[in-house]
Structure 1
Amino acid sequence: MQNQTNDRVVYNLNTLGYKRCKQFGHYKYTKVKPRLENHIHKDIIEICYCLKGQQFYNIEQNELKLNGNDILIVSPNTIHSTGVYPEDKGELFWIQISLNNDLGKLCNLPFLQSNYILKALTKKSNAVFKGAFSLKNILNALFTQLEKPQSILSVITINHLIIQLLLETLSLTEKPQEVKPTIRLNIINEYIEKNLSRSIYVDELAGAIKISVSYFKTWFKENTGITPNEYINRLKIKQAKVDLLNEKTITQVAFNLGYNSSQYFATSFKKFTGITPKAYIAKHNTK
């Protein structure tokens, strides 16, 4: 019926009797996992809902980034993966729906209606859209219903929630998408890159774009999906990947990036990449 670990659950909806519905999954990772390899879903549309954190996807060699509250629709029969990136820290739901009418009615909808919804969603595929709080409520409600023993009422409710989820997603993809706040983020990126060699504090970043610290924290998480401190660490680790292949020692790289010890640096590096600095160097030296 389902595959489950402490931080990841996958329901195989078709085996539970929900025709045309394949997987409904959820993960909540506190550390990175191995990258998702190239794969294809035959005649299946997949919708990913990133609630927290961030995640990169590579779809037919196009790199897309999801932040918290973003939606990605992956078109059927399309090669996709997380590219060179791991499955990242954060929380994400996904659902897979078959386009094959021979498998039966989608949640008991007439074919004309279900085909309309799925065709419209497919037209919006391979792009990132901004979500809404209502989606989180639907996703959590669906997850809760699937955890309960199956009954006539739960089957009716789950069918209703799946259709509600698809309709709400379609509605959000048709809204004008807000322009990303690139000017502020560019200023922040430049400030961090100029000060990678030391500890950087949130009040400095707020001051760089001339807003209050309290508003900055809220604004930043809404627009990046992560906290300022995690964002800083990610940029440090990104630079560390370059430095580790050029500097003499791991300790030197750690201190050059403002870490108090090589041990703490190694812990942070593994947290965001899934491997230790030593393993990273060895991996690239064998290429």
Structure 2
Amino acid sequence: MQELDKISTDERQIIDFEALGFECIKVLGTYNYRQMNKSLEMHTHDNMIEICFLEKGTQYYHIQGEDYRINGGDLLLTFPGEEHGTKSFPEERGRLFWLIIEVPHKNQRLLNLSKKDTKLFVENFLSLKSNRKFKGSDRLKHDLNAIYKICEHPISGLDKIKISNLLLHFLLNVLEFGNKHSNQIISREIADICTYINNNLRETLPLEQLAQLCNLSLSHFKYKFKKDMGYSPSDYILRQKIEKAKELLMDTSNSIQDVAYNLAFSSSSYFATVFKRYTGISPTQYCIYKT
């Protein structure tokens, strides 16, 4: 079992609820990465539920032998004793919240609920194990941001009541979304354009052209694409090109310059910049690592 991370940095802000006297609520954390970071090591939390809410971006996780990709607006739950992390994937650019709750013991109460209601609450959360990934909404981030705002200063007794209500409201919303089984649905036109992009990664793929293929205006296309996929079409194209580049670089007969040219990058230096942005290492380092 890994010790809980309770140390804030410039990019990661963590609230230690144990230190604030909350029972069963362990930590609330958030990061807002502007570039790729190293992978999150596989680890477990005994007797704890972890709720991840990705506000924006995309992220891969590996839980109990299964891979999950979450996009902006998605929730992902991890349950007691489950091994989880990002495995070989980096922590990507974007903003993520995570809340870790200890499953209450027999005589413990969650957020001042009665023992009976605490038991009911936990049973409902544990029932989501078969549907651990589902879509949330913006109202989740409002509760979490409000908690961070309160905790910018030393909290009073009334502040603690406010935080308890915000946490309870957040958790009830998570249950509501989870019980709807509202997994992300990608529209047919966006799914088709993603297939088109994946089949034409050697082209420049102007957004105006992609919008026309969808019979949408450019602004509507960009809005709809981000709503369905969790990131912009430009971001998606670059991600897919870099995934293809990693495949091509596995063939030692392909030079970095060849791969950059074949994937329609304007120069090998720009390709190297984008490659490092999405993988955390340069193409040269990637080639050395894979050999």
> Normalized against structure 2, the TM-score is what?
0.93
**Counterpart in 2 of 1:219?**
224
**Counterpart in 1 of 2:254?**
248
**Counterpart in 2 of 1:16?**
20
C-alpha change, 1:12 and 1:102, in structure 2 (3 Å) is farther
Contact 1:20 1:103 in 2 (8 A): no
Out of 242, 255, 268, the residue aligned to residue 237 of structure 1 is: 242
Are 1:50 and 2:54 an aligned pair?
Answer: yes
CA separation in 1, counterparts of 2:236 and 2:184?
20
CA separation in 2, counterparts of 1:63 and 1:185?
23
Out of 139, 146, 158, the residue aligned to residue 163 of structure 2 is: 158
Out of 78, 81, 106, the residue aligned to residue 77 of structure 1 is: 81
**Counterpart in 2 of 1:120?**
124
Offset of residue 144 of structure 1: 1.1
Contact 2:32 2:94 in 1 (8 A): yes
Amino acid at match of 1:272: Y
Q: Secondary structure at the match of 1:268?
A: helix
Superimposed CA distance per residue, residues 15-52 of structure 1 (whole angstroms, 9 cap, x where no aligned partner):
22111111100000111111111111100001000110
Amino acid at match of 2:186: P
Amino acid at match of 1:204: Q
Unaligned runs of 5+ in 2: none
**Counterpart in 2 of 1:205?**
210
Offset of residue 251 of structure 1: 0.9
Out of 170, 177, 180, the residue aligned to residue 182 of structure 2 is: 177
CA separation in 2, counterparts of 1:208 and 1:268?
26
**Counterpart in 2 of 1:100?**
104
Offset of residue 94 of structure 1: 0.7
Contact 1:206 1:216 in 2 (8 A): yes
- Structure 1 residues 230-239 or 30-39, which shifts more? 30-39
Amino acid at match of 1:223: D
Backbone CA RMSD of aligned residues: 1.8
**Counterpart in 1 of 2:283?**
277
Contact 2:6 2:27 in 1 (8 A): no
Percent identity between the two aligned chains: 35
Contact 1:117 1:166 in 2 (8 A): no
Out of 117, 130, 135, the residue aligned to residue 135 of structure 2 is: 130
CA separation in 2, counterparts of 1:58 and 1:103?
33
- Structure 1 residues 201-210 or 46-55, which shifts more? 201-210
Unaligned runs of 5+ in 1: none
Offset of residue 89 of structure 1: 0.8
Contact 1:101 1:111 in 2 (8 A): no
Superimposed CA distance per residue, residues 134-158 of structure 1 (whole angstroms, 9 cap, x where no aligned partner):
1111111111112221211111111
Out of 199, 214, 217, the residue aligned to residue 194 of structure 1 is: 199
CA separation in 2, counterparts of 1:4 and 1:102?
32
Offset of residue 90 of structure 1: 0.5
Offset of residue 184 of structure 1: 2.8
Superimposed CA distance per residue, residues 156-204 of structure 1 (whole angstroms, 9 cap, x where no aligned partner):
1111111111111111112252662263344222321333223211122
Amino acid at match of 1:57: Y
CA separation in 2, counterparts of 1:50 and 1:141?
17
